[in-house]
Structure 1
């Protein structure tokens, strides 16, 4: 076993413990998070990861609702991958939210949910204000489970491939989108390959690193602050993320990142 294999095994084995640590850190950091940016209220859709449901995004949605955003989950049950029901219903859901809130919707997607978010930005860009993906391996073929990918997330995705309506292939998800996009990744991700969670950086496309586990991204303090900051951006004046000086240590920086 190589050092890389041992590291990946260790990260996968410690995912639940590290996710719980993020939950504890959230309780301690809450007074600080009360100063997070707030922006123009607009519709926000939060999409869960593979094998998860809206239950997994309760903390994130409560946080965003507390900031004044009308936020909803997808209400499609457990996420088993891009089935025909999901691929048909998600564009209609975005359309209904955009009509209800009189403007494009921001989409926050965790893991596989972030891949759906990027696909929606390509399918219905006029209805999408921005995309924020949290640990989403869109850089691999099929959005996880591509050839040569032996991560735990890829293996789980492959078990449900017979249900999926979307063919394998990159589909341009790692390139530029027609809307602003923020790709959040963590080198300490024990479920997917963190390198696949980054996009080609551009004027309205950024990568931001955090220290979170994969399962803990939805309630990690650094991620919550980042999502609040991104949603506070105006439609016309979107700018890359710059953490406050006192929080800069929460965002490790790689080449091609905008934070730091």
Structure 2
């Protein structure tokens, strides 16, 4: 197996510039997206990436409403620990706490709508969606993830940056990265669509795919930041949400 490496520096440095182009393209193509399939009205929750909040995916929720879905933010504020994270174990503990809170959100929405819920998770938010898909087939209809780091987190350009910012002293070799990848690749009953980008500047395509039953990987050229404002991604999301469910 090839060594896990983060994306090339030129892709990381051009993230903001490329995302700006994608937002402009979305504005130009918004009318053509009205020919995407209409949905059945079931609820969809969006889960933001690390450091993001509900505002990061507001455009996507607006689009989902235009397709006839009940779209909701996750309602849990900013996706960032209140204290410094100095190890992957601490990150796992933060994730476990968020999953408990998300389960309560899902229970409330499922009870009020009496409909299974689809989840769309961007980046780290996709990890939450993926883990929920494994544990909540009773309430979750399907999962779509955007640029999610499923494998060894050292395959992200954010790994060393966050380590420096949080002044982590634990060596890379001592971090249990295998446990992270194993948890994210668990079996699930819920159909899961993985949208990843070969030119993602944050998450390497090496770690952005799943290979388990009931999963589908779709490659699309997008910046990492631009996943939530990419017209091609929107089209894929509309088509995936509207199609009849069947085992992949």
**TM-score, normalised by the number of residues in structure 1:** 0.78
| 1:172-191 matched pairs, under 5 angstroms | 172-191=183-202
| 1:240-251 matched pairs, under 5 angstroms | none
The residue aligned with 2:156 is 151
| 1:19-168 matched pairs, under 5 angstroms | 19-80=19-80, 82-83=94-95, 85-140=97-152, 144=153, 149=154, 151-155=156-160, 158=163, 168=179
What are the superposed Cα offsets for residues 161-194 of structure 1, whole Å, 9 maximum, x if unpaired?
Answer: 99xxxx9532442254211000010011001112
Please say if 1:225 is aligned against 2:230: no
Cα 1:134–1:6 shift into 2, 3 Å:
closer
Are the counterparts in 2 of residues 46 and 107 from structure 1 also a CA contact under 8 Å? yes
Are the counterparts in 2 of residues 104 and 127 from structure 1 also a CA contact under 8 Å? yes
Q: Report SS of the residue matched to 2:181.
A: coil
In the TM superposition, residue 138 of structure 1 has moved relative to its aligned partner by: 1.2
The structure with higher relative contact order (CA 8 Å, sep 6+) is 2
Aligned counterparts of 2:136 and 2:225: Cα–Cα separation in 1 = 29
Aligned length: 224
Q: Report SS of the residue matched to 1:216.
A: helix
The residue aligned with 1:194 is 205
Aligned counterparts of 1:239 and 1:170: Cα–Cα separation in 2 = 23
Q: Which runs of 5+ in 2 are unaligned?
A: 82-93, 169-176
Are the counterparts in 1 of residues 5 and 204 from structure 2 also a CA contact under 8 Å? no
Q: Which runs of 5+ in 1 are unaligned?
A: 241-260
In the TM superposition, residue 36 of structure 1 has moved relative to its aligned partner by: 0.5
**TM-score, normalised by the number of residues in structure 2:** 0.82
The residue aligned with 2:225 is 215
Cα 1:106–1:7 shift into 2, 3 Å:
closer
Are the counterparts in 2 of residues 46 and 57 from structure 1 also a CA contact under 8 Å? yes
